[in-house]
C-alpha cells in the first residue's frame, strides 16, 4: 500500500512539472500537425486531431509560453480551428461556422442606347424573378444571391441577357429595334416590335416608333397607331374623343406626361393634339385598371414623352403637303437635356369639298355657296429633364396649342313680285376655336432597395369657343336673323405623391395621396340673350393604396382601394378594385373587377331640333351627378418570340349619365344609364423583320334616359356591333411598306332622338404607305408617300353633323366630310 501511494505521488509530481514547464516555439512554415507532434515528444503532451486538416496550416513563430494552454491558444489564434481539453488531452477540431443569410441589393436603370433616354415600365427578369421598372426607368430589389442573371426587354427594343453583380448601380442599355441605319445589323436577338397585350386586363402597351412606318405617319401618327388596336374604335374618325370599349363622350381621357389632354384630335383629322416627335410610348387601359389610375369610368390613354438626347445635339425636321414639324434636342451638361418641338400648318388645310351645307326644312330650295374654310393650327412643346446617376429623375414638360376654323356661306335668291323682283341674300358665319395648355413637373427618387417615392404636379386648361351667325339682306338692308355664342372652359390643377414599398421579391405595396382642383364654365347666348350660364368649382382629396403579392410562383393578386372625398359635396366615394394574373408557361390569364367614379362630366346638351352638343362640367353641381361605373374584365393571351394571340371580354355598367334637354319653353336635366359588353380578338405575327396583325371587336353599348317614351334600352350613338382591322409592315432594309384596312358595321345616325329613328352605314377604309430611308455622313432621313382612303370610299364621320338654325323656321345641316382620297408626301431629315 505504501509503495502504491509513493508511485502515485511521483506521477502527479511529474505531471505538475510538465504543466509548469515553459513551451518554446521556434519554427518557420511548419505544418501545424508536425508542430503538435513535436510538442507531444518534447513536453509529454497528449493531442487528438485530424492530421490531414492540420497539415494545411503553416506556422511561423518565435515565442516562449509559460503554459501549454497559452501556447496552443496563441498558435490557433486566427485559424478556423478550436480546441477542447479533456483528461489532459488537447482535442483540436474545425470551428463550426454559422452562416447568416445575406441579402444583396440589385439596382439600376434601363435606358436607350445612344441617347440615354430612360425606358419606363421595362420588363426585367432576375434569377427567374420578374419585375418592372418605374416611370423613371429604375429598378431596385434585394436578393439572396450576389450574382444576378438578368433579362431585360422593352417594347420596340432588342432584348438583352446579361450577368450583373450587386453593390453597384447599373445602367442597362437597350438598342432600338428600328434604328433607321441599314448598315447596322443586329443578329441573334428577339425583337419586341409594336405592341404588348395580355400583361394586365384591358392593357395594351404600344411602341410609338412603329407608327413611323404606318400610313399617315406624320402629324397624326398617335391616332393612326391607336385606331389599329383592338377595342379602340376607328370607324367614324371621331375628331374629338376616343371610344374605348363603347365609352361615351368624355368618359375616356388622354394624359401626356401626367397632364390631361381634353381633346385628342383637333378639327383637322390629319393632326393629332400630341406632337409625334414628343412621344416615347403609349399605354391604353380600356377598362378594369387598378387603383393607381385616375378617376374616369371609360378608358385611360397614358402617353409618355421623350426626355431628350443627353449625349449629343440633334435636330429633326418634317414637312408634308399640309404641315411642318421640327424638334431640337440639346444636352445640358452630362445629366440634363432640353427638347422643344413646334408644328403649324402653312396653308388652309380644308378645301370647300370638306364641308357641305344644305337646308333641312326645304331641301329643294337654292343651294348654298361657300368659300374655302379658313383653318389654322399650331402647337409648341418644351421639356427639360435631369437624370441623376442614382436613377433620380426630374422633368418639366409643357404644351401649348390650338386651332381655329371659320366657315362662311351665302346664297342669293330672287322672288317675283307684282311691283318687281325681290333679291335676297342670306349669309351664314360659323366659327369654332379651341385652345389646349398643359404643364407638369415630376421628381422621382429611389431611397433604398425597399422604398421609392415620386411627386408630380400638373396643370391643364382647355377652352372651346363656338359661334353661329345668320344674316339676311333685303334691298341692301342687312338684318341679323339668328345668333348663338357658346363658350366652354375646363381647368385642372393636380398634385400626386406616390410611394412604393418593396416588402420582398414577391410583395409590393403602393400608397399615394392626391389633390385635384377642377373649374368649369359653360356660357351660351341665344340671339344676344343669355341662355346658359353655369360655373362650377370643385376640389377633392384622393387616397389610394394597392397590395401586389405572388400567391404562388405564377399567380399574382393585386388588391387596391381608391377613396375620393369631394369637398363641395362632402361625401366619401370608395372604389375597391381587384385583379388576378396567372401565367403558366407561354399563357397568361387575367381577371379584374372594380368600381369607378368620374367627377368631371362631359354632359350632352340636346335641343328641340335634336341637335346634340357636349360640354365639360363638374359633377355634383346643378343636379349634374357624379358618374359611377362597374367594370368586369376577363382576358387570356398566348405569346411566343414572334407570335401573339389575345382575347379580352368585358362588361361595364354606367349610371348617373346626364343629358341637358334645352327646349324653347323649358329646360331640364335628364338622368340616364348605360351598359357595354363585348370581346376583342387580337393576333400578331412577326417574321424576318416583317409584322402583320389583325383584330376583331364585337360589342354592344346601350343607354336609357328618363325622357324615353318606354323603359327599353336603346343603342347609344357610339355603339358599333362589328369592327375588323388588319395591318402589315414589310421591312426591306432601307425601304418600308405598310398597309391597313378597317371595316366597321356603322353607328346609328339618329334623325330623331325622341322617336328613336336612325340610319346606319358601313365604314370601309384602306391606307397604304411607302418609305425610303437614306443616310449620309452628316445626316439621315426619309422620303415617304402615304395614301389615305385609297379606294375613296364614301364614309360617314361620327358626330359630324351639325344642325344650325338660321332663323326660327329654317335649319341648315353642316356636314364635315370623312377622309377622302388623300395623298400625303413627306420629307424627314435628322441632323
Say which DSSP state 244 is in: B
Least confident among 218-227, 527-536, 725-734, 774-783? 218-227
Q: What is the pLDDT of residues 795-806, one digit of tens each?
A: 877 765 555 555
pLDDT of residue 10: 40
Contact present, 458 and 439 (Cβ < 8 Å): yes
Q: Are residues 593 and 697 in the same domain?
A: yes
pLDDT of residue 411: 79
The CA dihedral of 521, 525, 526, 529, to the nearest 10 degrees, is 130
Last residue of a domain, one of 153, 176, 192: 192
Q: What is the pLDDT of residues 19-34, one digit of tens each?
A: 446 788 888 888 888 8
Percent of the chain with pLDDT over 70: 81
**Cα 538 to Cα 490, 567, 692, distances in angstroms:** 11, 7, 47
Average pLDDT over residues 685-707: 89
Q: Name the most confidently modeled range: 140-154, 351-365, 809-823.
A: 140-154
Q: Buried (b) or exposed (e) across 534-545, using 16+ Cβ within 10 A?
A: bebebbbebebb
Last residue of a domain, one of 94, 127, 152: 94
pLDDT band of residue 187 (cuts 50, 70, 90) is very low
CATH code of the domain covering residue 42: 3.55.50.30
Q: What is the pLDDT of residues 672-686, one digit of tens each?
A: 899 999 999 999 998
Percent of the chain with pLDDT over 90: 25
What does the mean pLDDT of the chain come to? 80
Q: Are residues 278 and 227 in the same domain?
A: yes
Distance between CA atoms of residues 316 and 305, nearest Å: 16
CATH code of the domain covering residue 329: 2.40.170.20
pLDDT of residue 7: 43
Q: Has residue 672 been placed in a domain?
A: yes
Higher pLDDT residue, 249 or 702? 702
Last residue of a domain, one of 94, 128, 157: 94
Average pLDDT over residues 506-529: 89
Average pLDDT over residues 684-709: 88
CATH code of the domain covering residue 141: 2.60.40.1120
Residue 189 cell numbers, joined: 436577338
Contact present, 142 and 449 (Cβ < 8 Å): yes
Angle at 704 between CA 701 and CA 708, to 5 degrees: 135
pLDDT of residue 561: 96
Q: Are residues 260 and 175 in the same domain?
A: no
Q: Has residue 212 been placed in a domain?
A: no
116 is in which domain, residue-wise?
Answer: 104-192
Q: Has residue 801 been placed in a domain?
A: yes
Q: Has residue 204 been placed in a domain?
A: no
Q: Has residue 15 been placed in a domain?
A: yes
Average pLDDT over residues 689-707: 90
Q: Residue 733 burial by CB count (10 A; 0-12/13-18/19+): exposed, middle or buried?
A: exposed
pLDDT of residue 430: 83
pLDDT of residue 546: 95
CB count within 10 Å of CB 457 equals 18
**Cα 445 to Cα 388, 448, 449, 451, distances in angstroms:** 9, 9, 11, 9
Q: How far is CA 710 from the centre of its chain?
A: 41
pLDDT of residue 156: 65
Average pLDDT over residues 57-76: 85
Q: Are residues 368 and 447 in the same domain?
A: yes
Average pLDDT over residues 609-637: 83
pLDDT of residue 652: 95
CB count within 10 Å of CB 500 equals 21
Q: Are residues 127 and 28 in the same domain?
A: no
Q: Are residues 389 and 315 in the same domain?
A: yes
Q: Is the pLDDT confidence value at 651 over 90?
A: yes
pLDDT of residue 421: 74
In the chain, the number of structural domains is 3
pLDDT of residue 818: 72
Q: Are residues 16 and 71 in the same domain?
A: yes
pLDDT of residue 181: 35
> Cell 416583317 identifies what position?
690
Q: Are residues 112 and 73 in the same domain?
A: no
Higher pLDDT residue, 759 or 311? 311
Q: What is the pLDDT of residues 92-145, one digit of tens each?
A: 888 765 544 456 667 777 877 767 777 777 777 776 666 777 767 777 776 666
The CA dihedral of 357, 358, 360, 361, to the nearest 10 degrees, is 130
pLDDT of residue 36: 87
Q: Has residue 200 been placed in a domain?
A: no
Pairing outcome for strands 600-607 and 643-662:
parallel
Q: Has residue 21 been placed in a domain?
A: yes
Q: Is the pLDDT confidence value at 615 over 90?
A: no
Distance between CA atoms of residues 24 and 62, nearest Å: 8
**Four-residue CA torsion sign, 591, 596, 600, 605:** positive
Q: Are residues 649 and 581 in the same domain?
A: yes
Specify the length of the chain in residues.
Answer: 831
Q: Is the pLDDT confidence value at 628 over 50?
A: yes
Q: Are residues 280 and 340 in the same domain?
A: yes
Q: Is the pLDDT confidence value at 662 over 70?
A: no
pLDDT band of residue 589 (cuts 50, 70, 90) is very high
Indicate left, alpha or beta for 162 from its phi (over 0: left) and psi (-120 to 50: alpha): beta
End-to-end CA distance of the chain: 114
pLDDT of residue 183: 37
Q: Are residues 489 and 512 in the same domain?
A: yes
Least confident among 301-315, 603-617, 685-699, 797-811? 797-811
Q: Are residues 675 and 528 in the same domain?
A: yes
pLDDT band of residue 288 (cuts 50, 70, 90) is very high
Q: Name the most confidently modeled range: 235-239, 453-457, 552-556.
A: 453-457
pLDDT of residue 185: 39
> Cell 405598310 identifies what position?
738
Q: Has residue 573 been placed in a domain?
A: yes
Average pLDDT over residues 729-749: 88
Amino acid at each position: 500500500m505504501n509503495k502504491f501511494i509513493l508511485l502515485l505521488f511521483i506521477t502527479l509530481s511529474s505531471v505538475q512539472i510538465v504543466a509548469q514547464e515553459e513551451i518554446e516555439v521556434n519554427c518557420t512554415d511548419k505544418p501545424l500537425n508536425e508542430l503538435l507532434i513535436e510538442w507531444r515528444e518534447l513536453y509529454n503532451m497528449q493531442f487528438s486531431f485530424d492530421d490531414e486538416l492540420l497539415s494545411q496550416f503553416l506556422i511561423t513563430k518565435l515565442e516562449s509560453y509559460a503554459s501549454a494552454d497559452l501556447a496552443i491558444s496563441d498558435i490557433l489564434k486566427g485559424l478556423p480551428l478550436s480546441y477542447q481539453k479533456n483528461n489532459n488531452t488537447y482535442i483540436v477540431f474545425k470551428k463550426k461556422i454559422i452562416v447568416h443569410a445575406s441579402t444583396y441589393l440589385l439596382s439600376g436603370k434601363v435606358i436607350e442606347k445612344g441617347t440615354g433616354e430612360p425606358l419606363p415600365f421595362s420588363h426585367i427578369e432576375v434569377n427567374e424573378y420578374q419585375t418592372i421598372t418605374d416611370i423613371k426607368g429604375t429598378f431596385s430589389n434585394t436578393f439572396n444571391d450576389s450574382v444576378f442573371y438578368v433579362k431585360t426587354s422593352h417594347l420596340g427594343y432588342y432584348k438583352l441577357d446579361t450577368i450583373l453583380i450587386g453593390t453597384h448601380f447599373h445602367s442597362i442599355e437597350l438598342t432600338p429595334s428600328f434604328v433607321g441605319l441599314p448598315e447596322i445589323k443586329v443578329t441573334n436577338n428577339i425583337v419586341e416590335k409594336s405592341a404588348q397585350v395580355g400583361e394586365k386586363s384591358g392593357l395594351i402597351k404600344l411602341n410609338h416608333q412603329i407608327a413611323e412606318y404606318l400610313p399617315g405617319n406624320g402629324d397624326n401618327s398617335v391616332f393612326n397607331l391607336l385606331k389599329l388596336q383592338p377595342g379602340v374604335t376607328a370607324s367614324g374618325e371621331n375628331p374629338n374623343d376616343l371610344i374605348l370599349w363603347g365609352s361615351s363622350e368624355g368618359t375616356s381621357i388622354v394624359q401626356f406626361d401626367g397632364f390631361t389632354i381634353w381633346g385628342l384630335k383637333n378639327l383637322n383629322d390629319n393632326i393629332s393634339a400630341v406632337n409625334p416627335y414628343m412621344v416615347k410610348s403609349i399605354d391604353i387601359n380600356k377598362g378594369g385598371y387598378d387603383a393607381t389610375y385616375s378617376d374616369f369610368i371609360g378608358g385611360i390613354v397614358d402617353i409618355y414623352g421623350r426626355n431628350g438626347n443627353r449625349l449629343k445635339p440633334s435636330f429633326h425636321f418634317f414637312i408634308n403637303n399640309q404641315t411642318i414639324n421640327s424638334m431640337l434636342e440639346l444636352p445640358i451638361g452630362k445629366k440634363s437635356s432640353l427638347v422643344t418641338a413646334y408644328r403649324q400648318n402653312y396653308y388652309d388645310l380644308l378645301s370647300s369639298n370638306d364641308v357641305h351645307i344644305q337646308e333641312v326644312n326645304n331641301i329643294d330650295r337654292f343651294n348654298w355657296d361657300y368659300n374655302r374654310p379658313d383653318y389654322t393650327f399650331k402647337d409648341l412643346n418644351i421639356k427639360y429633364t435631369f437624370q441623376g446617376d442614382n436613377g433620380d429623375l426630374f422633368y418639366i414638360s409643357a404644351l401649348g396649342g390650338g386651332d381655329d376654323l371659320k366657315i362662311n356661306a351665302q346664297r342669293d335668291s330672287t322672288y317675283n313680285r307684282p311691283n318687281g323682283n325681290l333679291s335676297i341674300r342670306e349669309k351664314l358665319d360659323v366659327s369654332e376655336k379651341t385652345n389646349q395648355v398643359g404643364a407638369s413637373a415630376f421628381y422621382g427618387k429611389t431611397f433604398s432597395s425597399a422604398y421609392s417615392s415620386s411627386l408630380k404636379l400638373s396643370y391643364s386648361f382647355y377652352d372651346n369657343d363656338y359661334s353661329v351667325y345668320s344674316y339676311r339682306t333685303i334691298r341692301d338692308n342687312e338684318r341679323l336673323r339668328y345668333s348663338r355664342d357658346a363658350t366652354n372652359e375646363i381647368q385642372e390643377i393636380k398634385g400626386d405623391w406616390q410611394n412604393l414599398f418593396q416588402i420582398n421579391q414577391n410583395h409590393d405595396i403602393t400608397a399615394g395621396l392626391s389633390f385635384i382642383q377642377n373649374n368649369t364654365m359653360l356660357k351660351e347666348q341665344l340671339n344676344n340673350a343669355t341662355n346658359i350660364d353655369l360655373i362650377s368649382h370643385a376640389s377633392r382629396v384622393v387616397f389610394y393604396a394597392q397590395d401586389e403579392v405572388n400567391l404562388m410562383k405564377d399567380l399574382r393578386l393585386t388588391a387596391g382601394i381608391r377613396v375620393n372625398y369631394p369637398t363641395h359635396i362632402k361625401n366619401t366615394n370608395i372604389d375597391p378594385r381587384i385583379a388576378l394574373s396567372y401565367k403558366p408557361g407561354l399563357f397568361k390569364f387575367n381577371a379584374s373587377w372594380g368600381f369607378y367614379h368620374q367627377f368631371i362630366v362631359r354632359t350632352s346638351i340636346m335641343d328641340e331640333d335634336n341637335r346634340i352638343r357636349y360640354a365639360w362640367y363638374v359633377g355634383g353641381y346643378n343636379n349634374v351627378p357624379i358618374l359611377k361605373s362597374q367594370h368586369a374584365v376577363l382576358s387570356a393571351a398566348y405569346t411566343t418570340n414572334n407570335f401573339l394571340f389575345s382575347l379580352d371580354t368585358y362588361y361595364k355598367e354606367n349610371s348617373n349619365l346626364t343629358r341637358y334637354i334645352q327646349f324653347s319653353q323649358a329646360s331640364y336635366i335628364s338622368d340616364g344609364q348605360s351598359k357595354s359588353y363585348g370581346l376583342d380578338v387580337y393576333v400578331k405575327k412577326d417574321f424576318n423583320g416583317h409584322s402583320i396583325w389583325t383584330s376583331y371587336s364585337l360589342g354592344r353599348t346601350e343607354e336609357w334616359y328618363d325622357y324615353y317614351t318606354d323603359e327599353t334600352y336603346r343603342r347609344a350613338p357610339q355603339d358599333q356591333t362589328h369592327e375588323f382591322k388588319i395591318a402589315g409592315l414589310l421591312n426591306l432594309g432601307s425601304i418600308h411598306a405598310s398597309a391597313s384596312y378597317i371595316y366597321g358595321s356603322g353607328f346609328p345616325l339618329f334623325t330623331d332622338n325622341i322617336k328613336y329613328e336612325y340610319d346606319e352605314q358601313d365604314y370601309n377604309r384602306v391606307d397604304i404607305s411607302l418609305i425610303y430611308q437614306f443616310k449620309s455622313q452628316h445626316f439621315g432621313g426619309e422620303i415617304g408617300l402615304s395614301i389615305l382612303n385609297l379606294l375613296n370610299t364614301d364614309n360617314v364621320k361620327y358626330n359630324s353633323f351639325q344642325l344650325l338654325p338660321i332663323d326660327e323656321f329654317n335649319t341648315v345641316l353642316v356636314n364635315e366630310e370623312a377622309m377622302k382620297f388623300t395623298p400625303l408626301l413627306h420629307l424627314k431629315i435628322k441632323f
